[in-house]
Structure 1
Amino acid sequence: MTPVEQSLRCLAVRVVLDEAGGIDGIELEAFLNEVAGRHQWLSTTEWLFVDPPAEAGDWLTVPVVMPERLALRAILEDLTNDPPRILFDHATSPAETRKWRWVAFQIAPNSQGQGRFPWERSDA
């Protein structure tokens, strides 16, 4: 029997641009570490699996996945930001979760052919 995957949420996080007009990755990492905790999230720079949410309007966003309990905490932490950084969230489908596992595999492969999410790694 296949183990049940932990519930994940995908957040649309508004990014801050650096002086060159690119995503300020250092700032994004600092924000996510503050609202969710170090090694508690995974992000890509492109919306690979779904389209950016219409609710984000003209804001540039990146998808960030994390365990559901931490996503709820991050959303609450973000309520004090004006304007908010977390513009939308949704529960990942089983297919999306498998695709996020593939992203994790690119970063932290294991011998079972799956990736470990940052919050599952022993060094976290």
Structure 2
Amino acid sequence: MEPVEESLRCLGVRFPQDADGEIDSTELKIYLNRVIGPNQWLSTMQWLFIEPPSPEDEADTIPVVVPERVVSRAFRNDGPRRRILFDYRTTPAETRRWRWVAFQVASNPQGRGVFPWEAADA
């Protein structure tokens, strides 16, 4: 019997742009570490939803997946300018897609991706 997968939430986070109009990844990483916590999030440039968000929800946002247990902290720490625009509970199929992204970032000997919070908990 396979272990039960921890529930994930996907946050739509407004990203900052640098002078060239690209994502300021350094600023985004600092922000996510402050608001969510180091090793408590994983992001990608591609929306992994079965049914993607509407174009207006997707504009200028990046998907950030977190364990469900840290969502309230993320919203509490977001601040008055609100960069977390929406929150979505992932389906099992979407969770598998995020697991694949984790495998690209941090594979383990069992051939399964490790989310940053799982590696930090080990």
TM-score, reference length from structure 2: 0.89
- Identity percentage of aligned residues: 58
Amino acid at match of 2:97: K
Residues 105, 86 of structure 1: CA spacing in aligned structure 2 closer, same or farther, 3 A cutoff?
same
Deviation per residue, 1:13-50 (Å, 9 max, x gap): 00010011100000110110001111110000222435
- 1:121 aligned residue: 119
| Structure 2 residues not aligned, in runs of 5+ | none
Deviation at 1:81, TM superposition (A): 2.6
- 1:41 aligned residue: 41
- 1:51 aligned residue: 52
Matched, 1:92 2:90: yes
- 1:105 aligned residue: 103
Q: Would you say how many aligned residue pairs link Structure 1 and Structure 2?
A: 121
Deviation per residue, 1:65-107 (Å, 9 max, x gap): 01111122101211x232x100001111111111100000001
Contact 2:48–2:94 at 8 Å: present in 1 too?
no
- 2:22 aligned residue: 22
Amino acid at match of 2:26: I
CA distance in 2, matches of 1:81, 1:119: 27
| Structure 1 residues not aligned, in runs of 5+ | none
Contact 1:33–1:39 at 8 Å: present in 2 too?
yes
After superposition, the CA RMSD in angstroms is: 1.9
Residues 91, 3 of structure 1: CA spacing in aligned structure 2 closer, same or farther, 3 A cutoff?
same
What secondary structure does 1:121 align onto? Answer: helix
CA distance in 1, matches of 2:55, 2:20: 26
